[in-house]
Amino acid sequence: PAEPPRYKRILLKVSGEAGAGGEGFGIDPKTLDRVAADIAEVVREGIEVCLVIGGGNIFRGALLAESGMERASADYMGMLATVMNALALQASLEKIGVYTRVQSAIPMAAICEPYIRRRALRHLEKGRVVIFAAGLGAPFFTTDTPAALRAAEMGCDALFKGTSVDGVYTADPKKDPSATRYERLTYHDVLAKDLKVMDASAISLMRDNHIPIVVFSIRERGNLLKVLKGEGVHTTIA
């Protein structure tokens, strides 16, 4: 069998729901602690970790925009939600001895560092986990594109997308029991088939920079390290 890929630096993107309780809303400390334990395991293997967490468990801009609020205002609220999740995840990680820094695309000096690329790189070299918050600092995006952008800026070997399913399927496996999982896909497949993996802008950024995307389930404890070692169930897009 082929040697499993060796990662030096990765970016892990999880949706806000990954830290939410049963209803997918709010922050459930127990759930977040489980995700943090997974990340700690990877850090202890000597892998440098960048994180992006979404905000959908608190607020999603597009939803409020539907009820009449200006989309841009709603999206700024969404970005603030990602800052809250970043701080919650930081707390969970530091509780178990992982050093972290939060950097926000929208400067909030009293709460966290502003995003400074070279400073973020230095943190990573020192073994600190860097959590990138507030997305791009621009409306009309989700956190997929900022995750891809930071992965490229930080020179990550791969973008890991932790979801509630264990890969990319031919159809939604929660609705269609005959759906099958893809082992491998090309960026082109995802874009041409319009597979709902990540926003198209994120996929094309990864394609142009030759950074593979690994889609896996963040729901099972210990799965992240398994997937990193090439063992756990996942779909690779390259």
- Mask 174-213, x = binds ligand UDP (CB under 6 A)? ----------------------------------------
**105: which residues sit within 8 A by CB, 6+ positions away?**
79, 115, 132, 133, 134, 135, 136, 137, 146
Is 139 part of any known ligand binding site?
A: yes
- Mask 25-54, x = binds ligand UDP (CB under 6 A)? -----------------------------x
Smallest distance from the beta carbon of 154 to ligand UDP, in angstroms? 16
Buried/exposed 86-113: b ≥16 CB within 10 Å, e otherwise: bbbbbebbeeeebebbbbbbbeeeeebb
Cα(19)–Cα(30) distance, rounded to whole angstroms?
A: 8
**80: which residues sit within 8 A by CB, 6+ positions away?**
55, 59, 134
**Exactly one of 36, 48, 87, 135 binds ligand UDP (CB under 6 A); which one?**
135
Cα(95)–Cα(158) distance, rounded to whole angstroms?
A: 27
**11: which residues sit within 8 A by CB, 6+ positions away?**
49, 50, 51, 52, 147, 150, 151, 154, 156, 158, 159, 160
Supply 182's token pair: 């893809």
**Exactly one of 78, 162, 167, 232 binds ligand UDP (CB under 6 A); which one?**
78
Interface stretch with ligand UDP, choices 23-31, 77-85, 168-176, 209-217 (CB under 6 A): 77-85
- Closest CB to ligand UDP among residues 10, 134: 134
Measured from each CB, the residue nearest to ligand UDP is 54
Map the footprint of ligand UDP across residues 54-73, applying CB under 6 A. 54-57, 60-62
**Exactly one of 10, 11, 12, 15 binds ligand UDP (CB under 6 A); which one?**
15
Is 22 part of any known ligand binding site?
A: no
- Closest CB to ligand UDP among residues 15, 100: 15
**Exactly one of 19, 139, 162, 232 binds ligand UDP (CB under 6 A); which one?**
139
What order do you get walking across the sheet with 48-53 strand by strand?
113-114, 100-104, 129-133, 48-53, 9-14, 158-163, 213-217, 235-237, 184-185
Taken as a whole, the chain contains a residue count of 238
Is 232 part of any known ligand binding site?
A: no
Binding residues for ATP: 13-16, 56, 60, 163, 169, 172
The residue ranges that bind ligand UDP (CB under 6 A) are 15-17, 54-57, 60-62, 75, 78-79, 81-82, 135-136, 138-139, 141-143, 146
